[in-house]
Structure 1
Amino acid sequence: MDREDRRFKVVGRAAGSNHAGRFERHERVQVDDGWTPETDLPVLRTQTAIEVPRRLITYNSSPDLPFDRSINPYRGCEHGCVYCFARPSHAYLGLSPGLDFETRLVARPDAPHVLKRELAARSYKVAPIAIGTNTDPYQPIEREHEIMRACLRVLSDAGHPVAIVTKGALIERDIDILEDMARRGLVRVGISVTTLDARLSRLMEPRAPAPQRRLQMIRSLSGAGIPVRIMASPMIPALTDPELESILRAGRDAGARHASWIMLRLPREVSPLVQDWLAQHFPDRAGRIMSRLREMHGGREYDASWHRRMRGEGPYAEMVAQRFNVAVKRLGLKSRGSPMRCDLFEPPQKETAQMSLF
């Protein structure tokens, strides 16, 4: 029986629903027929499908992003952050941005070979590649598939710069590669810390490492000479934004050199998921939080306009931005890092059946 046709016990997940994506014509609704007691339901488990990508590098021309290309070893993310702005991308697969995004994942084991082929193309022009901007490359299934590690080897061998964003402690496994790349000016890492409250983190990000564990990741990486950015993202008005300065201080004390922040974003299917989550866990603040967000987006829950989507606008957004600027200056952090080197890039040799004579 297909998973969609059965009822499950949902444990350790952030999304409270599994509504169909915006492209689906029909909606599946679970109904209790009274025959199976709630205590006898099977637990909803993570499933992983395999995809063979034809292309890996995705290009963008967004003027408010610091990169023009990115790669994603996985689709979906088991960390299950309720606020994740990447959730709507699961709708393109015919899956729900809700529970499906956290439990029906896609691994791309051929990604390193495709990446190598694209870097070897004559038309390729080197520029930093971003990884982790959509789904986390160090989510739990990376332990089994090791796709991210293989991609890092391709980039390191080619002398190609890379910027990584993650919450996953598995990044410590790859310090051997990252340390060497850092010595050559080829890598930057951003560690996202949303809150220092372990209980709140468990509610928002049920399968991501706890906040103190992420600070330990910063210590490990910075101790190996890898430049680390503390990312106070996303800031949720009236819930996590009071912690902004504390998060930045904790990141600095752990060894982060740079810092950034982004306001909570609610594109498409993310908005109802977050509103349901707030109603369940923080009913006393749900109205206030949504009111602040609408205030920063011209009365809407989200404005996707460039230069406004990341932080909003208006008095409240400006106040948070000023707090960030003051804290960064006081703590000796920097908002921008030094450019990574692109002059070391050497295209990989194309994989052919004929062996090289030299």
Structure 2
Amino acid sequence: MTDVPHAIKGRGAASNPEGRFETIRHHAEDDGWQHALLDEERPRPKTEVTEERARSVITHNDSPDIHFAQAMNPYRGCEHGCIYCFARPTHSYLNLSPGLDFETKLRAKTNLAEVLRADLAKPSYVVSPINIGSSTDPYQPIEKRWRLTRAALEVLAECHHPCTIVTKNALVERDLDILAPMAREHLVQVLVSVNSLDNRLAAKLEPRATAPHRRLQTIKTLADAGVPVGVLVAPIIPSLNDRDMEAVLEQAADAGARCAGYTVLRLPYELKALFREWLALHAPQRAAHVMSLVQQMNDGRDYDSDFSTRMRGQGVFADLLRRRFEVACRRHGFARARELKLNVSRFVPPRKPSPQGQLF
């Protein structure tokens, strides 16, 4: 009998399908004994981190629906394990699975600060805010040990270089000693992602991320320290977490968030099957309804990559979400997340290392 995927405590994905570039397919067979084990007796995949020596760390973006030109991701893969993560298919480029591999077999760019310093020192470099965490969370649990995000912030602060940070982990509070001084120079903005207030749902959707109520506390901690902070209600999944949109925005405003943004669920490449598998395991009664609404927002498909609609969707349900968001933002006085202007005039390129040292 073929092995049936089962929910794994602390992990978002339940299986490890091959990436779209793989030429070999693995097919598991169950002899019946594995199903006799209780869930707590099943072997659980452990997190493995491999060091990676990056040749460059700043990526450039020209997508019209993304409002930053430069980005940086200290890690490949993300231990948070969010089942909806649009970055999961990028693991296929490493010959790894977008499923469990994405959240258990991680890469750490250990020379991040060194390469960043070299990139910023190039005569051709043009300063523009760098978004940290555009694909994978810079404050995922392994950051506690590797401290690559902190190392990058130290370089940026030294050079007075502006940046934005997107995270759903309270670990960002650790770096307030860097962020608060940067904020006084208008060099940083933090966006905290909160897409639900239901802790039970969050534990299944994003199993190793900080709990929603704790993220709201993080917004308050950052705001009290003078760091400009906003909230991202992202992604909104119809008939699953969309009911919490107004409550999230209200509580984030009370905590001190200045701006807000949202996106709808995106299911590129292998993510379609992974999310359908998750629905079958965790929300079987509403799975068909959820996917029906997802398809309504994507011109009848699971995903539409059109730049003009992929972030917000299209159709009646997408229009309703947009109107609800706009009404709530007006009620709480939110600006749009992209409207904060960071200071690019204070940038000082780092000095290149010299074997003769520096006198001044």
Which range, TM-score by smaller chain? over 0.9
Give the match for residue 229 of structure 2.
228
Give the match for residue 13 of structure 1.
11
Question: 1:38 is matched by which residue type in structure 2?
Answer: L
Equivalent position SS for 2:197: coil
Q: CA deviation at 1:62?
A: 0.8
8 Å CA contact retained: 2:53, 2:110: yes
Question: 1:99 is matched by which residue type in structure 2?
Answer: L
Give the match for residue 203 of structure 2.
202
Q: CA deviation at 1:43?
A: 2.6
Give the match for residue 351 of structure 1.
353
8 Å CA contact retained: 2:6, 2:281: no
- Give me the whole-angstrom Cα distance separating, in 1, the residues matched to 2:27 and 2:77: 22
- Single out whichever of 294-303 and 120-129 deviates more from structure 2: 294-303
Give the match for residue 26 of structure 1.
24
Give the match for residue 303 of structure 2.
302
- Give me the whole-angstrom Cα distance separating, in 2, the residues matched to 1:126 and 1:281: 45
- Single out whichever of 139-148 and 20-29 deviates more from structure 2: 20-29
Question: 2:24 is matched by which residue type in structure 1?
Answer: H
Aligned length: 352
Q: Give deviations 1:236-258, integer Å, cap 9, x for gaps.
A: 11111111101100111111010
- Single out whichever of 130-139 and 275-284 deviates more from structure 2: 275-284
List runs of 5+ in structure 1 lacking aligned partners. Answer: 1-6
Q: CA deviation at 1:33?
A: 4.0
The share of aligned pairs that are identical, in percent, is 49
Q: Give deviations 1:155-183, integer Å, cap 9, x for gaps.
A: 00001000100011110000110000000
- Give me the whole-angstrom Cα distance separating, in 2, the residues matched to 1:312 and 1:353: 55
Q: Give deviations 1:115-170, integer Å, cap 9, x for gaps.
A: 00000000000000001110000000000000000000000000100010001111
Equivalent position SS for 1:24: coil
Q: CA deviation at 1:41?
A: 4.7
- Single out whichever of 271-280 and 181-190 deviates more from structure 2: 271-280
Give the match for residue 238 of structure 2.
237
- Single out whichever of 252-261 and 31-40 deviates more from structure 2: 31-40
Question: 1:301 is matched by which residue type in structure 2?
Answer: D
Question: 1:331 is matched by which residue type in structure 2?
Answer: H
- Single out whichever of 148-157 and 296-305 deviates more from structure 2: 296-305
List runs of 5+ in structure 2 lacking aligned partners. Answer: none
Give the match for residue 338 of structure 1.
340
**Residues 1:63 and 1:56: Cα distance change in structure 2 (over 3 Å):** same
- Give me the whole-angstrom Cα distance separating, in 1, the residues matched to 2:317 and 2:30: 44
- Single out whichever of 112-121 and 333-342 deviates more from structure 2: 333-342
8 Å CA contact retained: 2:121, 2:351: yes
Question: 1:274 is matched by which residue type in structure 2?
Answer: F
Question: 1:208 is matched by which residue type in structure 2?
Answer: A
- Give me the whole-angstrom Cα distance separating, in 1, the residues matched to 2:32 and 2:301: 40
> Is residue 174 of structure 2 the alignment partner of residue 176 of structure 1?
no
Q: CA deviation at 1:297?
A: 1.0
- Give me the whole-angstrom Cα distance separating, in 2, the residues matched to 1:13 and 1:62: 31
Equivalent position SS for 1:342: coil
Task: Please give the TM-score of this superposition, normalised by the length of structure 1.
Answer: 0.95
8 Å CA contact retained: 1:233, 1:262: yes
Task: Please give the TM-score of this superposition, normalised by the length of structure 2.
Answer: 0.95
- Single out whichever of 93-102 and 281-290 deviates more from structure 2: 281-290
Q: CA deviation at 1:356?
A: 2.2
- Give me the whole-angstrom Cα distance separating, in 2, the residues matched to 1:165 and 1:61: 19
Please, what is the CA RMSD of the aligned residues? 1.6
Question: 2:155 is matched by which residue type in structure 1?
Answer: V
8 Å CA contact retained: 1:8, 1:41: no
Q: Give deviations 1:85-136, integer Å, cap 9, x for gaps.
A: 0000000000000000010001111101000000000000000000111000
